[in-house]
């Protein structure tokens, strides 16, 4: 018996424990807090009503209601409400009686009609016809009565409503006044009724069941922003855009949705792969569905996705679904391009030569550097040239004679061609092309001239456009670059390795380190990438990560990945991942992106910004020119291209043809503060005609009006109104210039009359977002009258006027 | 007597085994407690990235919203407000008013969230008829303006010409 009691006690303890699970405790705590808040609100509402002024108002309203009701209830009330109500009722009764008779007569009519149609004899038919006529007359009379009564009834009801208007209004006012109290009462009652129960979200398409709201009951309730977990309102806009009924919780946070107890619910149990993510890594999972370059609300994952390609990770590591081009230059002819001293310097540590380079340091030994240099320098079918061939020789010889002049001419040409738009010189300038500060110390003689003559031939897929230089001009440029853009400290370069390099060994090294992942190298065109494949990397279990000899690294996915990015070869000897020396920002961005590489693919309807649809391809002769000049490196057209220069999708509707042709011939400055400028390609008139023609006929938007003003419609008054709007109302001169005055951010508007079409200016002021959503200008959706006025003003600005319009 | 002792012992053993089994299985098999990496302390709406095992000397990273605000700031605002928010942007000399200095520790605390959101949304024109600060309500969404405000708040504590995270 003792044993039985003992067992009973044991089981009683267990049962009681199971009956009061932790989530119930949380929910009870939540209800308690809500109850307290609701009761406090109720008290406040009652207090508010007890205040002298509120109480008086309440009494007034009640009195008003009472008076109105009394007035209506009195049998001989003024206005005769009671009487009117009685009459209305009587009319209603009579109306329904008439309706009844009408229907019955109609039914009779139809019956007789049927008999008439089936009648056998003529006399029968005549009799029935007479009857039909009688009935028809009866129906019409009844219908008239009915209509009369209905109209009368409606009129009576309107009168009644007028009479009861006051009472209804009084009641309404009283109810509104008492509403806060009524709401508070309802809230308290609702909260008191609540009982703890398991909350779950069923997601069919995602094949998940999430019971997170069982503990996290407050996630959707405002007001718990400062609460302690798990009773805390969800932060930010995320839940607003991703309602829990459609997304659940675990797709963004990880964890085990079906569990209702810690630690299982947070996935911290053996063999559950989807652990609850650290709060700052949660954003990585945005990237699972959001496949675009920008993820609203999550900048790190988007940066990580971009970095994964641009920093060259994709050169060694495949990720399913990510196709990445080779980001480094082709090495097919590197033998003729660079000097041995430079290659050795570069391979030792690229970031010492060029801090902004994307190539990481491979931590090579001297022997490895020697071998690799030997192999790479052998990569060129023709031996390195010391002098260019053909007519360029002549140009060089004559140029050498007046070297100083050539350098000066070359410098002018360099500036006119706006090389700084893409090429920095000692860290100052664009980053599309390599830094040219010391390029002459890198290149062999003759390569530069050949390159400038036709870049795509020497470097397939290059972004450099083919300027239409003459040989003399190329010689001048080469002279300038050769004499100015060199490292005057070349003597301080590290000495190349003393041991002789073995090209065969170099080839083995290339295969080992996988240089062909980023650089095109003959013989290795189709070789697969050398790094570990990272598809589904986020799901990798910790016991499959090699911690090697490190004891100080916590055994988590995050710690391993972070350490790997920080110190790629630190886990053990023999690893070959190079050292990118990522900044903390870049490292965290990559970590976030890697956390998004899950095996599970979301259903198609959840994906966002997947680039569907055909890519824009410029066609015909324009397409050839665009490829040679690489327009789409800087400009974008129809969603394809770069962001350095304006979008040209609607350029034909934007600019005037004469201006366009002039600009293509000699580009001038439109935005004062930029260092970047459109280069002068020295195009022939035929080429200019082709480009301008394409833009004017294809890159147009029919929604942009051609003309806005009829002749004579631009009056002085309109211009004055536009001027006042431009300067005083909207302050456009804070960003735009006219003449010498104004801000330096937006384009110069002095030449509007020559440059822009009037329809465009008008359409832009009405709604710029529909024309180009990528600009930095704030959106002004001006009404028609204002847009017209400002357009008129801008069109009227002349050169002389420009100096006059300046305001203090 | 012997039988009773045996049955008592058996019952006790049974009870002990039951309890042991319950505590073992009901609490699930835990992951070895090596997840000792400190989870991100919440220092913003969504927390800043956690401190790494190796001590980092770089400027602490911004929270997700503040980082988004930084990208927006550097795209739209730096020309007048300067890259560090000190008011010396390249366009600032062209303006009729002095651009405020966000890095001044006296400036930020005197402005509430509502003030900042209002300034960005309605601009100068909406608030006092002086249209130099543009109104961004049609270009930026509410969420983007909130992110901007979060970032601007951090400018007061960042070094004026310090290294911005690259």
- Neighbour count for residue A560 (Cβ, 10 Å): 19
A199-246 residue pLDDT tens? 999 999 888 999 999 999 988 888 888 888 888 888 878 888 899 999
Residues 562-601 of A with CB under 8 A from B: 562-563, 566, 583-586, 588
Residues 251-270 of A with CB under 8 A from B: 261, 263-264, 268-270
Residue among B32, B61, B123 minimizing CB distance to A585: B61
Lookup: tokens for A80: 């005769």
Residue numbers in A near B147 (CB within 8 A): 297
Does the pLDDT at position A96 exceed 90? yes
Q: Which residue has the higher pLDDT, A638 or A72?
A: A638
Residue numbers in B near A586 (CB within 8 A): 166
Residue numbers in A near B131 (CB within 8 A): 728-731, 734
Residue A456: predicted pLDDT: 87
Residue among A559, A742, A745 minimizing CB distance to B37: A559
Which residues make Cβ contacts (< 8 Å) with residue A203, sequence separation at least 6? A209, A210, A246, A247, A248
Q: Is A730 on the interface with B (CB under 8 A)?
A: yes
- Asked whether the beta carbons of A335 and A522 are under 8 A apart, the reply is no
Does the pLDDT at position B162 exceed 50? no
Q: Which residue has the higher pLDDT, A540 or B43?
A: A540
Q: Is A606 on the interface with B (CB under 8 A)?
A: no
Residue B35: predicted pLDDT: 37
- Neighbour count for residue A360 (Cβ, 10 Å): 21
Does the pLDDT at position A75 exceed 80? no
A473-524 residue pLDDT tens? 999 999 999 988 888 888 888 877 877 888 899 999 999 999 999 998 988 8
A442-454 residue pLDDT tens? 998 888 999 999 8
Does the pLDDT at position B58 exceed 50? no
Residue numbers in A near B17 (CB within 8 A): none
Residue among B28, B50, B52 minimizing CB distance to A264: B28
Q: Is A427 on the interface with B (CB under 8 A)?
A: no
Gap from A478 CA to chain B (nearest CA, Å): 34
Best probe of the A interface among B10, B88, B131, by most A CBs < 10 A, is B131
Residue numbers in A near B7 (CB within 8 A): 3
DSSP labels, A256-300: -TT--STTGGGT-BTT---PPPPGGGGGGGHHHHB-SS--TT-HH
For a pLDDT cut of 90, what percent of chain A falls above it? Answer: 44
A391-432 residue pLDDT tens? 444 445 555 557 888 899 999 999 988 899 999 998 888 888
Residue A56: predicted pLDDT: 87
Residues 61-80 of B with CB under 8 A from A: 61, 63-65, 67-68, 70-71, 75-76, 79-80
Does the pLDDT at position B28 exceed 70? no
Residue among B28, B48, B95 minimizing CB distance to A269: B28
Q: Average pLDDT, stretch A703-730?
A: 91
Q: Average pLDDT, stretch A723-746?
A: 90
Residue A736: predicted pLDDT: 92
Residue A499: predicted pLDDT: 79
Supply φ then ψ for residue B161, to 5 degrees: -115, 25
Inter-chain contact B138–A779, Cβ cutoff 8 Å?
A: yes
How large is the ipTM? 0.78
Residue numbers in B near A261 (CB within 8 A): 28
Q: Is A555 on the interface with B (CB under 8 A)?
A: yes
Does the pLDDT at position A18 exceed 80? no
**What's the first-to-final CA gap in chain B, in angstroms?**
83
Residue among B8, B22, B65 minimizing CB distance to A236: B65
Residue A78: predicted pLDDT: 59
Q: Is B131 on the interface with A (CB under 8 A)?
A: yes
Residue numbers in B near A283 (CB within 8 A): 46, 64
Residue A52: predicted pLDDT: 86
Which residue carries 């976030």 as its tokens? A592
Does the pLDDT at position B161 exceed 60? no
| Band of pLDDT at residue A353, cut at 50, 70 and 90 | confident
Residues 94-123 of B with CB under 8 A from A: 94-95, 123
Residue numbers in A near B94 (CB within 8 A): 734, 742-744
A285-340 residue pLDDT tens? 899 999 888 888 899 999 999 999 999 999 999 998 777 888 888 898 888 899 88
List the single range of A327-331, A537-541, B36-40 with lowest mean pLDDT.
B36-40
Share the mean pLDDT of chain A.
87
Does the pLDDT at position A109 exceed 90? yes
Q: Is B34 on the interface with A (CB under 8 A)?
A: yes
DSSP code for A738 = E
- Asked whether the beta carbons of A623 and A314 are under 8 A apart, the reply is no
List the single range of A21-25, A111-115, A669-673, A767-771 with lowest mean pLDDT.
A669-673
Does the pLDDT at position A582 exceed 90? yes
A254-288 residue pLDDT tens? 889 999 888 888 888 877 888 888 888 888 889 99
Residue A397: predicted pLDDT: 54
Does the pLDDT at position B56 exceed 90? no
Does the pLDDT at position B165 exceed 70? no
Inter-chain contact B18–A297, Cβ cutoff 8 Å?
A: no
Inter-chain contact B47–A279, Cβ cutoff 8 Å?
A: yes
Q: Average pLDDT, stretch A710-726?
A: 91
A524-535 b/e with 16+ CB inside 10 Å = b? beeeebbeeebe
Q: Average pLDDT, stretch A709-734?
A: 91
Q: How far is CA A1 from CA A7, A530, A569, B11, in A?
A: 10, 73, 68, 10
Q: Is A604 on the interface with B (CB under 8 A)?
A: no
A736-759 residue pLDDT tens? 988 878 888 889 898 899 999 999
Q: How far is CA A321 from CA A314, A324, A537, A610, in A?
A: 11, 10, 13, 12
| Band of pLDDT at residue A560, cut at 50, 70 and 90 | very high
Lookup: tokens for A305: 């996705």
| Band of pLDDT at residue A386, cut at 50, 70 and 90 | very low
Reply yes or no: is the peptide bond before residue A263 cis, omega within 30 of 0: yes
Residue A799: predicted pLDDT: 63
Residue A401: predicted pLDDT: 54
Residue A14: predicted pLDDT: 84
DSSP labels, A493-547: SPPPPSSPP-HHHHHHHHHHHTGGGTS--TT-TTPPP-SPP-TTGGG--GGGS--
Q: Is A698 on the interface with B (CB under 8 A)?
A: no
């Amino acid at each position: 018996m003792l044993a039985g009691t003992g067992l009973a006690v044991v089981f009683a303890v267990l049962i009681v424990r199971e009956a009061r699970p932790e989530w119930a405790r949380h929910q009870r705590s939540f209800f308690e807090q809500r109850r307290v808040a609701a009761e406090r609100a109720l008290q406040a509402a009652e207090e508010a009503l007890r205040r002298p002024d509120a109480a008086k108002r309440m009494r007034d309203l009640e009195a008003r209601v009472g008076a109105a009701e009394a007035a209506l209830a009195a049998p001989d009330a003024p206005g005769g409400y009671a009487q009117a109500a009685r009459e209305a009722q009587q009319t209603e009764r009579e109306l329904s009686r008439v309706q009844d008779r009408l229907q019955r007569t109609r039914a009779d009519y139809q019956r007789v009609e049927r008999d008439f149609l089936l009648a056998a004899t003529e006399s029968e038919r005549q009799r029935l016809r007479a009857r039909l006529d009688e009935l028809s007359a009866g129906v019409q009379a009844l219908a008239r009565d009915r209509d009369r009564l209905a109209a009368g009834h409606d009129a009576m009801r309107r009168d009644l409503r007028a009479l009861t208007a006051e009472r209804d209004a009084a009641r309404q006012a009283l109810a509104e006044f008492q509403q806060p109290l009524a709401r508070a009462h309802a809230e308290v009652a609702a909260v008191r009724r609540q009982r703890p129960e398991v909350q779950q979200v069923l997601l069919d398409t995602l094949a998940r069941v999430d019971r997170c709201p069982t503990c996290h009951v407050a996630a959707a309730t405002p007001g718990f922003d400062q609460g302690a977990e798990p009773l805390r309102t969800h932060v930010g806009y995320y839940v607003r855009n991703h309602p829990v009924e459609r997304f659940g919780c675990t797709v963004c946070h990880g964890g085990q949705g079906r569990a209702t107890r810690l630690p299982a619910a947070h996935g911290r149990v053996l063999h559950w792969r989807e652990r609850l993510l650290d709060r700052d890594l949660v954003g990585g999972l945005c990237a699972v569905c959001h496949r675009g370059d920008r993820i609203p609300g999550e900048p790190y994952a988007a940066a990580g996705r971009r970095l994964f390609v641009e920093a060259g990770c994709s050169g060694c590591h495949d990720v399913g679904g990510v196709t990445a081009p080779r980001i480094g230059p082709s090495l097919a002819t590197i033998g003729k391009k660079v000097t041995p001293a430079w290659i050795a310097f570069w391979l030792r540590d690229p970031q010492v030569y060029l801090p902004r380079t994307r190539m990481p340091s491979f931590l090579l030994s001297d022997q490895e550097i020697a071998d690799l240099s030997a192999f790479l320098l052998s990569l060129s079918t023709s031996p390195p040239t010391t002098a260019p061939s053909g007519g360029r020789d002549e140009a060089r010889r004559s140029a050498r004679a007046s070297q100083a002049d050539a350098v000066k001419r070359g410098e002018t040409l360099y500036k006119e061609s706006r090389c700084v738009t893409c090429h920095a010189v000692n860290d100052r300038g664009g980053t599309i092309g390599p830094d040219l500060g010391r390029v002459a110390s890198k290149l062999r003689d003759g390569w530069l001239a050949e390159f400038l003559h036709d870049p795509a031939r020497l470097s397939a897929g290059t972004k450099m456009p083919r300027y239409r230089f003459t040989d003399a001009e190329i010689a001048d440029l080469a002279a300038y670059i050769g004499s100015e853009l060199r490292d005057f400290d070349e003597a301080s370069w590290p000495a190349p390795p003393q041991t002789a390099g073995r090209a065969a060994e170099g080839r083995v090294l290339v295969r080992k380190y996988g240089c062909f992942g980023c650089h095109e190298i003959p013989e290795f065109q189709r070789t697969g990438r050398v790094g570990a494949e990272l598809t589904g990397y986020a799901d990798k279990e910790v016991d499959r990560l090699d911690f090697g000899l490190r004891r100080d690294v916590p055994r988590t996915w995050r710690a391993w990945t972070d350490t790997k990015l920080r110190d790629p070869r630190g886990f053990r000897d023999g690893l070959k991942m190079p050292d990118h020396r990522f900044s903390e920002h870049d490292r965290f961005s990559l970590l976030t992106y890697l956390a998004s590489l899950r095996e599970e693919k979301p259903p198609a309807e959840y994906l966002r910004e997947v680039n569907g649809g055909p890519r824009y391809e410029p066609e015909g002769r324009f397409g050839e020119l665009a490829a040679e000049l690489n327009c789409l490196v800087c400009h974008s057209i129809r969603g394809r291209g770069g962001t350095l220069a304006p979008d040209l999708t609607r350029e034909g509707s934007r600019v005037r043809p004469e201006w366009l042709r002039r600009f293509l011939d000699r580009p001038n400055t439109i935005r004062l503060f930029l260092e970047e400028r459109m280069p002068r390609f020295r195009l022939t008139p035929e080429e200019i005609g082709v480009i301008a023609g394409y833009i004017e006929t294809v890159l147009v938007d029919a929604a942009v009006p051609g003309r806005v003003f009829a002749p004579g419609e631009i009056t002085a008054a309109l211009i004055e109104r536009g001027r006042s709007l431009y300067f005083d109302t909207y302050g456009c001169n804070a960003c735009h210039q006219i003449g010498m005055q104004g801000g330096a951010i937006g384009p110069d508007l002095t030449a509007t009359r020559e440059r822009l079409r009037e329809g465009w200016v008008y359409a832009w002021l009405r709604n710029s977002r529909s024309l180009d959503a990528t600009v930095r200008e704030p959106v002004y959706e001006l009404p028609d009258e204002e847009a017209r006025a400002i357009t008129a003003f801008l069109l009227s600005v002349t050169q002389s006027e420009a100096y006059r319009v300046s305001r203090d | 007597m012997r039988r009773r002792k045996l049955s008592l012992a058996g019952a006790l053993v049974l009870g002990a085994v039951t309890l042991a089994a319950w505590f073992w299985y009901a609490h699930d098999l835990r992951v070895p407690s090596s997840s000792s990496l400190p989870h991100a302390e919440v220092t913003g709406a969504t927390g800043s990235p956690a401190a790494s095992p190796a001590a980092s000397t770089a400027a602490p990273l911004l929270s997700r919203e503040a980082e988004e605000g930084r990208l927006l700031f550097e795209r739209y605002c730096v020309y007048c407000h300067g890259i560090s928010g000190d008011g010396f942007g390249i366009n600032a000399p062209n303006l009729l008013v002095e651009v405020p200095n966000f890095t001044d520790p006296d400036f930020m605390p005197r402005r509430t969230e509502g003030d900042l959101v209002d300034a960005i949304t309605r601009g100068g024109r909406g608030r006092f008829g002086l249209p130099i600060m543009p109104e961004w309500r049609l270009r930026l969404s509410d969420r983007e303006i909130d992110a901007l405000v979060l970032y601007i708040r951090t400018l007061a504590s960042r070094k004026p010409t310090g290294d911005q995270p690259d």
